[in-house]
Structure 1
Amino acid sequence: MSTPASICILRTSAIGDVTHVVPLVRTLQAAWPQTELTWIVGKLERKLVGDLPGVHFVTFDKGAGLAGMRAVGEALKGQRFDALLQMQVALRSNLLSLFIKAGRRVGYDKARARDGHGLVINERIPARTGEHVLDAMGSFCEPLGLKQTQVRWDIPIPEEAHAWAAEQLPGDQPTLLVSPTSSHSLRNWRPERYAAVMDHAAARGWRVALSGGPSAFERRMADAVLAACRHGPLDLTGKDTLKKMMALLVRAPMLLTPDSGPMHMANAVGGKVLGLHAASNPNRSGPYSDRRWCVDKYDEAALAFLGKPASEIPWGAKIEKPGVMDLITVDDVVERFEACASHLGLA
């Protein structure tokens, strides 16, 4: 199969999913270093990956609606790609793909396609079930004749971000970084339970830092967690950027978080993740490299809320029901914290 001269990747969001695309970019670059890569990405997500070397980025402003799609079309005016990797099945992304000219249009298999996805593609990735999201995204190179056999991120982190992180977390005291909010509110744990685990870590001699974005929702969650803490953790909520968060994750050996973007950012820099999974399946969407430290109540949630075990529901089904995260107890998380700390030699 001949080397394509140009490939366009369409994956605009969200942070975790965009993180999963980076190894695919590395696979394409390693196999075909002369191929021109263009990535259509969201405004926020570009702040994380937009400095990847060898990739031309085009920003899609989803808040601008049709005008945002037209802006992408204008930015690509006169270009025709050898292949489009249409890696997002939402209706908005399917419509956006119509502004991209490409001979080969690779999309998801029929089981994972929706919202008219099949109408905007002419090839499909292999139909598989039981895959982690990152592996599914990695398979987008297979119709082109490649196979993703290595997973590498190496997302650039500026020196100023490392310097900022070192100011916040000086010295070599081990840090438990806590990112308590997912954009899906029903994946979030109770503030008082976060606080109980944070107090346990502090009592064990760990520095504890709370992180989060600048939104009002994240500020309210942070305030609720802080109000329930007996020990005063460092509050970095709203103070970091995505790059600064990456630098914090390099310095902190452990992250406590629900299924969220920071989970996958931490995994990308080799951090250990205490992931909280009841609403989502960690084998599909947990930290890719190492899920040993996650609390996995997904099967219990399937039985409690759907009346059947996880093995009998569709792969990747979300169980985002009120109260589902209450299946995860403080003791569950403390046990994983202690196991991970022992593994790191920090118990």
Structure 2
Amino acid sequence: MKPSLPVQPNHIAILRLSALGDVCNLVPTVRALQRQWPHARITWIIGKGEYSLLAGLSGVEFVVYDKSTGLAGMRVLWKELADTRFDVLLHMQQAIRASVLSLGLKANVRVGFDKARAKDAQHWFTQLQLAPHPNAHVLESFMDFARLLGVEDDSLEWNLAVPPVAYDEARVISGDGPYLVINPCSNVRLRNFRNWSVEGYASVIEHAWVQHGLTSVLTGGGSSLEREVGDQIEALCQPGSVINAIGGTSLKGVLALIDNARAVIAPDTGPVHMGNAMGTPTLGLYATTNPQRAAPYLWRDFAVNAYPDAVSTYLHKSVDDVSWGQRVRHADAMDLIKADEVIAKLDALLAYTAAQPTTGPTHES
């Protein structure tokens, strides 16, 4: 017999370790749970880097798991929570590592994704599963957990915490003039293939500088690839049109930069969802992943969508013939995105937001 869901949960656990974009998309679910049950404790088990982005999120107790510590780190976490029993565990990570971690947590009921969305056999580790939701955006998939529990108000709210020191950091980098944030690289990992060309970015930066008077601030991590890409872009641009801050910011500093930017441009990576969470106009570049599933949620209409072309060119199928989460793992797929198309989308985004001021998510400082 399957356990029942609590009518009035007193302690809710959320298990979602990564990644930066995904945890941003999960925050509205947390806010929906808080509105429904304002006195419930919410404990979020989260990755180390992701915690540095969301630290200070109001009403949430974080338990940090450093994925590099493996099983030894799991045992430390299990010991930390040995005396804690959750009314419900929301298992929101479709990865075997997270499922193994969930085994050491005590919960009256464990909720996971439906079989169609439960990668790595996640449904074997949960007792109740979500109702099917074909073709759901990642944000909607997370919100389905709140809906299953009985949440009625699923309106979107973020209120990310950005401390004053982060705004100080951002001002030192950006100066006083208007600017774009461009995060040119996605996560550095095998067969990711989400990065656009340096020549394309240079063309967009030139256009933003000449036509809109906008400097472009480059952001990203400190990997050798990201630094190399930043240097290559900078070398192609006019002096003064670009500020290369790749490897030189904290995650909170990036949030502050994004908050004060005119717009964000990036491929399928965390900063597009950080922009979405901060209410900043955001232009995502998509060819290897489906923007209907993974684009910045509030700005999907402005995403550059070369995914159908990539599916046709490299998989020899139509979008309707591939699974919802299908990726196009081909090194040339992002070359299907043309600079003129990105420039046109940027012009449309800037015109739209100038005519209709953004009333997006809010933040705490």
Q: TM-score, normalised by structure 2?
A: 0.91
Deviation for aligned residue 1:147: 4.1
In structure 1, distance between residues paired with 2:239 and 2:11: 54
Give the structure 1 partner of residue 348 of structure 2: 339
1:202 touches 1:231 (CA, 8 Å); kept in 2? no
1:292/1:116 Cα in 2 relative to 1: closer, same or farther (>3 Å)? closer
Is structure 2 residue 156 aligned with structure 1 residue 156? no
1:46-195 alignment, distance < 5 Å: 46-147=51-152, 149-171=154-176, 173-183=177-187, 185-195=192-202
CA distance in 2, matches of 1:271, 1:159: 18
Corresponding residue number in structure 2 for 1:223: 231
In structure 2, the gaps of 5 or more residues are: 1-5, 356-365
Instruction: Tell me if 1:266 matches 2:267.
Output: no
Change (3 A) 1:176 1:312: same
Q: CA deviation at 1:339?
A: 1.4
The 5 Å alignment of 1:267-306 reads 267-306=276-315
Aligned residue for 1:343, secondary structure, equals: helix
Q: Which amino acid aligns with 1:246?
A: L
1:252 to 229, 236, 261: 261
The CA distance in 2 between the partners of 1:81 and 1:50, in whole Å, is 22
Deviates more, 1:80-89 or 1:50-59: 50-59
Q: Tell me, in whole angstroms, the C-alpha distance in 2 between the residues paired with 1:296 and 1:96.
A: 36
Q: C-alpha separation between the residues in 1 aligned to 2:137 and 2:152? A: 16
Determine helix, strand or coil for the equivalent of 1:290: helix
How far, CA to CA, are the matches of 1:196 and 1:246 in structure 2?
A: 25
Runs of 5+ unmatched residues, structure 1: none
Three-state SS of the structure 2 residue aligned to 1:177 is strand
Question: Quick one: distance in 1 between partners of 2:8 and 2:54?
Answer: 25
- 1:200-211 aligned within 5 A: 200-204=207-211, 205-211=213-219
Q: Give the secondary-structure state (helix, strand or coil) at the position aligned to 1:18.
A: helix
Confirm or deny: 8 A CA contact 2:205 2:215 kept in the other structure: no
Q: Which of 30, 38, 41 lines up with 1:33 in the alignment?
A: 38
Question: How many angstroms does 1:120 deviate by?
Answer: 1.2
Contact 1:12 1:40 in 2 (8 A): yes
1:31-70, Cα deviation, whole Å (9 max, x unpaired):
1111111100000000111211211111111101101111
| Distance in 1, Cα, partners of 2:11 & 2:150 | 15
The number of residue pairs the alignment matches comes to 345
Query: Higher relative contact order by CA 8 Å / sep ≥ 6: 1 or 2?
Result: 2
